[in-house]
Amino acid sequence: MNLFLTKNGIGFTLLYHIIVGLFGLADSGALQLTQANLDITLASNELVLINFYADWCRFSNMLAPIFDDAADKVAAEFPEPGQVVMGKVDCDREGAVASRFHITKYPTLKVIRNGQPTKREYRGQRSTEAFVSYIKKQLADPVIEFKSLKDLQDLDEKKRVVIGYFDRKDVPEYTVFRRVATNLKEDCQFYVGFGDASAQMHPPGQPIVAFRPDKARSNEEDETFKGNLSVYDEFNIWASEKCVPLVREITFENAEELTEEGLPFLILFHNPDDNEIVKKFNDVVQSELLSEKHSINFLTADGVKFTHPLHHLGKTLSDLPLIAIDSFKHMYLFPDIKDMERPGKLKQFLNDLHTGKLHREFHYGPDPVTDPPRVDGSSGSSSTTSKKPTTPPESTFKKLAPSKNRYTLLRDEL
Ligand SMILES: *[C@@H]1O[C@H](CO)[C@@H](O)[C@H](O)[C@H]1NC(C)=O
């Protein structure tokens, strides 16, 4: 399969170069980005999609003609300057640029929005049509306009929402609002009302922006933005904090991306209609585990969708809710979900992961609490009879990490 694609890719590339040569279209295709033109390109466009490639990499070569073709179609579709650029970086020539973007595999497709690299990479199909439709979706206005306050009454309570109350559209504050909305549209829904639709909610001439949490998942409170809405950074920081929650839901769509963040998962598996346990988990994380957020990823998972990891743990739907760690090597079960709300219990579980205790105990049974470690294990409690080292269930989520099906070469594989 790969061989076939490669041959095909080379053939296509050759043909492409002949056509380009014949018709003198050398300026078309993706924009070649270098140290010299990179910053100005990023600063002056709402969206830049960059293909980081290496000439010797066959996956890069397969992608090149497709990416160039997509760039031409996108340029035709969005001719107005400042909207979108599809660019490419030759990582061998532009080592400094490649390391600035932490490129570890070829080709890597990075999305830069409003001059800021997003955490997200392009993970869609690598076809002209898919690229073009991705760009269209990215550039679509993320802000939904409401015509009456009543429209805000039955929004999806599982979504986090930012609502803007404005007099009119053509004010600098709305430009900031909209730009920030483009950054955070995967994390929050953005609504706006102009004129009569929101006149009751703000003083004339002074827009107001409010955050509404996902009430089905958390006990957080509504909050009004108190900073200066004319200052992009101020609003962007506030909205990012509100929109990207500490505890996120893992889905099949975002699993790969969450995996790439590289932190072990602490996952609450729950019945999809059990909102109460999700809220409790949220509260415990907020009150006790905030300091751990740089060492662990707090997630919830619909246990009906994610049955596979449950089976791995020897559990079924009737055992929900339950909490487990996936360290990308192994999975560890939190012994009793009822202990979740006992102060310090969940934190201890995390500490035991960091110190290796979870893994040790799986092999050799409980660490002695007060006694010094025994060597022979022949005396003591009855649980010492079968201390045959076993292995904790293998990680299920590591399989979602960057993989073969993306036609990408990892640096380590080279
Ligand atoms: C908000 O920021 C803008 C732009 O920097 C500035 O002109 C304005 O005076 C600020 N408003 C307040 C209330 O500080």
Please work out whether the CB of residue 230 comes within 6 Å of at least one atom of ligand 1. yes
pLDDT band at 252 (very low <50, low <70, confident <90, very high): confident
Name the residue with the closest Cα to ligand 1, atom 11: 228
Pair (239, 346) in one structural domain:
no
**86 is a domain residue:** yes
Residue 354, phi then psi, degrees to nearest 5: -60, -35
Q: Which residues contact 345 (CB under 8 A, 6 or more apart)?
A: 339
**410 found inside a domain:** no
**Residue ending a domain, choose from 113, 139, 165:** 139
- Judge if 161 and 261 occupy the same domain: no
Cα 193 to ligand 1 centroid, rounded to whole Å: 22
Q: Is 228 in the pocket of ligand 1 (CB under 6 A)?
A: yes
Q: For residue 348, what are the contacts with CB-CB under 8 A and spacing of at least 6?
A: none
**Run of H or E residues at 157:** none
Is 43 within a domain? yes
- Is 6 a member of any domain? no
Tokens of 167: 């007099």
pLDDT over threshold 50, residue 14: no
- Give percent above pLDDT 90 in the chain: 66
Q: How far apart are CA 166 and CA 217, in angstroms?
A: 28
Give residue 383's pLDDT: 43
Taking the centre of ligand 1 as the mean of its atom positions, its distance from the CA of residue 199, in whole angstroms, is 22
264, 223: one domain: no
Atom of ligand 1 nearest to the CA of 229: 1
Nearest CA to ligand 1 atom 13: 228
Report the DSSP beta bridge partners of residue 41.
Answer: none
pLDDT at residue 24, as a whole number: 38
Q: How many domains does the chain have?
A: 3
Atom 14 in ligand 1: residue holding the nearest Cα: 228
Q: What is the C-alpha to C-alpha distance for residues 51 and 91, in angstroms, rounded to an integer? A: 10
Q: Are 392 and 330 in contact (CB under 8 A)?
A: yes
Q: Residue with the nearest Cα to atom 12 of ligand 1? A: 228
In our burial notation (b when 16+ CB lie closer than 10 A, e otherwise), range 187-200 reads bbbbbbbbeebbee
Q: Model confidence at 346, in pLDDT bands (50, 70, 90)?
A: very high
Pairwise CA distance, residues 38 & 106, whole Å: 19
Answer yes or no: is 408 within a domain: no
Task: Give the model's pLDDT for residue 18.
Answer: 44
Q: Are residues 170 and 256 in the same domain?
A: no
pLDDT reading at 298 higher than 90 = yes
- Do both 152 and 274 map to the same domain? no
Q: pLDDT digit string (tens) for 197-213?
A: 999 999 999 999 999 99
Give me the mean pLDDT over the 258-265 stretch: 89
pLDDT tier at 400 (50, 70, 90 boundaries)?
A: low
Q: Is residue 252 part of a domain?
A: yes
Same domain assignment for residues 390 and 257: yes
CA dihedral (116, 120, 124, 127) positive or negative: positive
Which protein residue has the closest C-alpha to ligand 1 atom 4? Answer: 230
CA of 228 to the centre of ligand 1 (A): 6
Instruction: Give the E-state strand segments of 31-115 in sequence order.
Output: 31-32, 47-53, 84-90, 105-106, 108-113
Residue 56 Cα to ligand 1 midpoint, Å, equals 51
181 Cα to the center of ligand 1, angstroms: 20
Answer whether residue 47 shows pLDDT above 80: yes
pLDDT at 368: 65
The alpha carbon of 231 and the centre of ligand 1 are apart by a number of angstroms equal to: 7
At 292 the pLDDT is: 92
Sole residue written with tokens 């490419």: 88
What was the pLDDT predicted at 243?
95
SS3 167: coil
How far, in whole angstroms, is CA 46 from its chain's centroid?
20
Q: What is the pLDDT of residues 64-119, one digit of tens each?
A: 999 999 999 999 999 999 999 999 999 999 999 999 998 988 999 999 988 887 76
Q: Give the integer Cα–Cα distance in Å for 3 and 226.
A: 58
The answer on 385 and 341 residing in a single domain is yes
Mean pLDDT of all residues belonging to the chain: 85
Q: 117, 139, 161: which is the final residue of a domain?
A: 139
Specify whether the CB–CB gap between 97 and 50 falls below 8 A: no
| Beta strand 297-302 pairing with 247-250 | parallel
414 vs 335, higher pLDDT: 335
Residue 29 is which amino acid?
Answer: G
CA distances from 305 to 174, 257, 270, 299, 364 (A): 39, 18, 10, 14, 33
Mean pLDDT throughout 237-251? 93
Angle at which helix 345-354 crosses helix 357-364, to 10 degrees, equals 80
Same domain, 216 and 131: no
Closest residue (by CA) to atom 3 of ligand 1?
230
Residue after which a domain boundary falls, among 185, 209, 243: 243
Q: How far is the CA of 230 from the centre of ligand 1 (A)?
A: 6
Q: What digits encode the pLDDT tens for the residues 125-159?
A: 899 999 999 999 989 889 999 999 999 998 999 99
pLDDT of residue 254: 84
239 and 252 within one domain: no
Residue 131 and residue 81 share a domain: yes
Of ligand 1's listed atoms, the one at least distance from the Cα of 228 is: 1
Cβ burial, residue 234 (10 Å; 0-12/13-18/19+): middle
The predicted structure's pLDDT at residue 202: 95
Indicate whether 356 and 303 sit together in one domain.
yes
Residues 151 and 133 both lie in one domain:
no
Q: Which amino acid would we find at residue 320? A: L
- Structural domain span for residue 291: 248-372+380-400
Residue 209 lies in a domain: yes
Query: Is ligand 1 within 6 A of the CB of residue 206?
Result: no
Local structure of 191: helix, strand or coil: strand
CATH of the domain at 295: 3.40.30.10
Question: Alpha-carbon distance 404 to 32, whole Å?
Answer: 27
What torsion do the CA atoms of 258, 260, 264, 270 make, to the nearest 10 degrees? 20
Most confident of 11-15, 367-371, 395-399: 395-399
Does some domain include residue 160?
yes
pTM score over 0.75: no
Mutation choice for ligand 1 from 228, 232, 235, 236, CB with most ligand atoms inside 8 A = 228
